[in-house]
Each structure stands twice: as structure tokens, then as C-alpha cells.
């Protein structure tokens, strides 16, 4: 979910596009954004933040990759350092039992933190080799995990694997399978509530792809969902897909049509729902955390 464009030089047109004052557009038409809602900077001063995910009571967890730390934002608005060192953690998601799944880039593994803060390893490699740098993960309703494994900055050095793949970890967590091997730099990953559809973003191709998830967990029927890049992604309760890229967050309906666009002052890396009622959209955007009040909540 970390975007390689962060370290590149942008054309002037891109830089101008990214300097819009935070605002929303088309909100009145889609009905997804609360009336008169504006993008709010919750907190700034981070290094590079990622992975926003909220638990059942509304605590928001997110990673600060370069500062090697996890943060927690309580529903009261209190912000605290939650876990460090984080092994340059990137993507976060919740397991079916509410445990926090953490993509540890530098340690090249996917781990789980329980309610008491204890860490256990879910998977740390494929075919006898370490992962490249676990980036993002999504848990299927049957307990299997889909995880992307590109390499950006952490750890330094050559790839550990033969390529940058999307993996499926079995529901029993005892088998790892490379299910997508032909997408360069697979990044954000998310699936639908019914467990039948998987979305994968490629930052290198600047496209988002959609797959059918088969009964055995494999994927098929790849189609292009969006002709734009995305870093992290999320879905709302209606199946709309929220893509993070240049200028803000593009909201697309299940057919891939853009139905709204949320502009952010900084280029967002990831997005997730949270808050007391689950209807706050949080956007991790480089050095700042932003929020926006919505009329919808996350897909369950």
C-alpha cells in the first residue's frame, strides 16, 4: 500500500493537481457524503502513514512506516503511540475474531496481535523463501487471507521471491499459495462481503483489477475495474470501491463508474471507515490523517 510515486519527481501538471485545497465534489449527487461535510485534518506531523482500520468499538489503528510505529486514535479523539518498533508495518486489517493482522515489511512476514498485545506469526514466506515485503491483506469470510507482496523500500536489497505476487493463506493458516503472479507491483487488496469478488491494485500499471473468487480460493475472470492507480482501498456497505490516488479518493460503484471524488490536500495512501458510528472515512495521506463524515459505513 505504500506508493512508489512518493519518491519520484512529478510533472508540473501532477504537482498542480495535488495542491487543491481539501474539498469534496459531487457529494450531493452520490448521497454518500454527509451534508455540508468537509475534509478535516485530524493530525499532522507524521512521516508516512498507512493502513487505517477500525475495530468494533471505533478505535482506529494506522501505521507510520518511516517512524516504525503503530498509532491508535480512540473514538474520543485521543491519539497515542500503540506499538513500536513495528518492523516498518504497512497494511493492517482485522481477523475474523477481531485480532489485528499486521503486514511487517522489514521482518517480511504477516503477524497477528491479540487483545493483550501478544504477537504471533501467521506466515513468513513461500516455498522456503521469505516474503519480499508484505504490503496489504484482506480476510475472506471463510478465514483465508489474501496478501500482496511487492517490494518498495523495506527491507533494502534484492527480492527474496522470484516475483511480486498475491498470496492466499488457507483458513487453517497452514498453507500459502501464490494465486496471482502476473501483475507487477500488486498493492492494495480488498474483497466483497460475500467473498465472491477480489480487487487488486497495481501501482506500476496504474490500474485496478477485479477477479472472481472460486470455491477453492483461487481466482479467475480477471477484468479491468478502473483505469487508474490506487494504493490502499476499501469498500462501503453498498459495494462501492474507494480508490486512493492522485488528488484524493475516487469512489466507484460496483460497475467501475466514478460516482464521487474526495479531494485531499496531500495524496492519500489508504482509506478506511471508523468513528463512533462507523460513518467516518479516514484517509492516511503522507504526513497527515484526514477524516470526512459519511452517510455510509464499511462493508462487513
> DSSP string of 120-178?
EEEE-EETTEE-S---EEEE-TTS-EEEEE--SSSS-SS-SSSS-EEEEE-TTS--EEE
pLDDT score, position 299: 86
Q: Facing residues of 2 across strands?
A: none
pLDDT for the residue numbered 300 = 76
Average pLDDT over residues 230-255: 96
Per-residue pLDDT at 5: 47
Q: Across the chain, what does the average pLDDT equal? A: 91
The domain spans of the chain are 4-293
Q: Tell me the average pLDDT across 273-279.
A: 94
Across residues 205-215, what is the average pLDDT? Answer: 97
Q: Give me the pLDDT at residue 8, please.
A: 32
Q: Are 145 and 103 in contact (CB under 8 A)?
A: no
User: What is the rounded average pLDDT of the residues 226-233?
Assistant: 94
Which among 260, 286, 291, 251 has a CA at the least distance from the CA of 275?
291
The CATH number of the domain covering residues in 4-293: 2.120.10.30
Predicted confidence at residue 30, as pLDDT, reads: 86
Residue-wise pLDDT for 164-180, tens only, equals: 999 999 999 999 999 99
User: What is the number of other CB atoms lying within 10 angstroms of the CB of residue 282?
Assistant: 24
Helix (H, G, I), strand (E, B) or coil at 98: coil
Contact 118, 108 (CB under 8 A): no
Task: State residue 182's pLDDT score.
Answer: 96
More confident of the two residues 6 and 64: 64
- Pick from 19-33, 70-84, 260-274: least confident: 19-33
What separation, in Å, do the N-terminal and C-terminal C-alpha atoms of the chain show? 21
Q: Of the ranges 7-21, 63-77, 217-231, 278-292, which one carries the lowest mean pLDDT score?
A: 7-21
pLDDT at 4: 41
Tell me which of 5-14, 211-220, 279-288 is least confident. Answer: 5-14
Instruction: Name the strands in the sheet holding 186-191, side by side, starting at the edge strand that comes first in the sequence.
Output: 186-191, 197-202, 207-213, 219-226
Would you place residue 87 in the very low, low, confident or very high pLDDT band (cuts 50, 70, 90)?
very high
Q: Name the pLDDT band for 3 (thresholds 50, 70, 90).
A: very low
Question: Collapsing DSSP states into helix, strand and coil, what is residue 204?
Answer: coil
Check if the beta carbon of residue 221 is closer than 8 Å to that of residue 209. no
- 71-96 average pLDDT score: 96
**For residue range 99-151, what is the model confidence (pLDDT) as tens digits?**
999 999 999 999 999 999 999 999 999 999 999 999 999 999 999 999 999 99
Residue 97 has pLDDT above 90, yes or no: yes
pLDDT in tens, 11-62: 333 333 333 333 444 444 789 999 999 999 999 999 999 999 999 999 999 9
Amino acid at each position: 500500500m505504500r506508493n512508489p510515486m512518493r519518491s519520484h519527481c512529478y510533472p508540473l501538471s501532477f504537482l498542480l493537481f495535488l495542491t487543491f485545497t481539501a474539498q469534496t465534489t459531487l457529494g450531493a449527487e452520490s448521497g454518500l457524503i454527509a451534508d455540508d461535510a468537509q475534509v478535516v485534518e485530524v493530525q499532522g506531523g507524521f512521516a508516512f502513514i498507512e493502513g487505517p482500520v477500525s475495530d468494533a468499538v471505533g478505535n482506529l489503528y494506522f501505521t507510520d512506516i518511516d517512524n516504525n510505529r503503530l498509532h491508535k486514535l480512540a473514538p474520543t479523539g485521543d491519539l497515542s503511540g500503540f506499538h513500536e518498533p513495528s518492523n516498518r508495518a504497512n497494511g493492517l486489517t482485522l481477523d475474523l475474531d477481531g485480532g489485528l493482522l499486521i503486514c511487517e515489511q522489514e521482518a517480511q512476514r504477516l503477524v497477528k496481535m491479540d487483545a493483550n498485545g501478544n504477537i504471533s506469526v501467521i506466515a513468513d514466506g513461500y516455498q522456503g523463501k521469505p516474503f519480499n515485503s508484505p504490503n496489504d491483506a484482506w480476510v475472506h469470510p471463510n478465514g483465508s487471507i489474501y496478501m500482496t507482496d511487492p517490494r518498495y523500500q523495506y527491507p533494502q536489497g534484492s527480492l527474496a521471491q522470484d516475483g511480486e505476487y498475491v498470496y492466499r493463506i488457507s483458513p487453517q493458516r497452514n498453507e500459502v499459495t501464490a494465486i496471482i503472479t502476473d501483475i507487477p507491483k500488486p498493492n492494495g487488496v480488498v474483497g466483497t462481503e460475500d467473498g465472491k469478488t477480489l480487487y487488486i491494485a497495481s501501482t506500476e500499471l496504474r490500474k485496478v483489477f477485479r477477479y472472481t473468487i472460486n470455491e477453492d480460493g483461487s481466482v479467475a475472470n480477471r477484468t479491468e475495474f478502473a483505469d487508474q492507480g490506487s494504493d490502499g482501498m476499501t469498500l462501503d456497505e453498498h459495494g462501492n470501491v474507494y480508490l486512493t490516488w492522485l488528488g484524493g479518493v475516487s469512489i466507484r460503484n460496483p460497475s467501475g463508474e466514478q460516482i464521487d471524488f474526495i479531494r485531499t490536500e496531500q495524496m492519500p495512501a489508504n482509506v478506511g471507515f471508523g468513528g463512533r458510528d462507523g460513518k467516518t472515512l479516514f484517509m492516511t495521506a503522507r504526513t497527515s490523517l484526514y477524516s470526512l463524515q459519511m452517510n455510509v459505513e464499511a462493508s462487513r
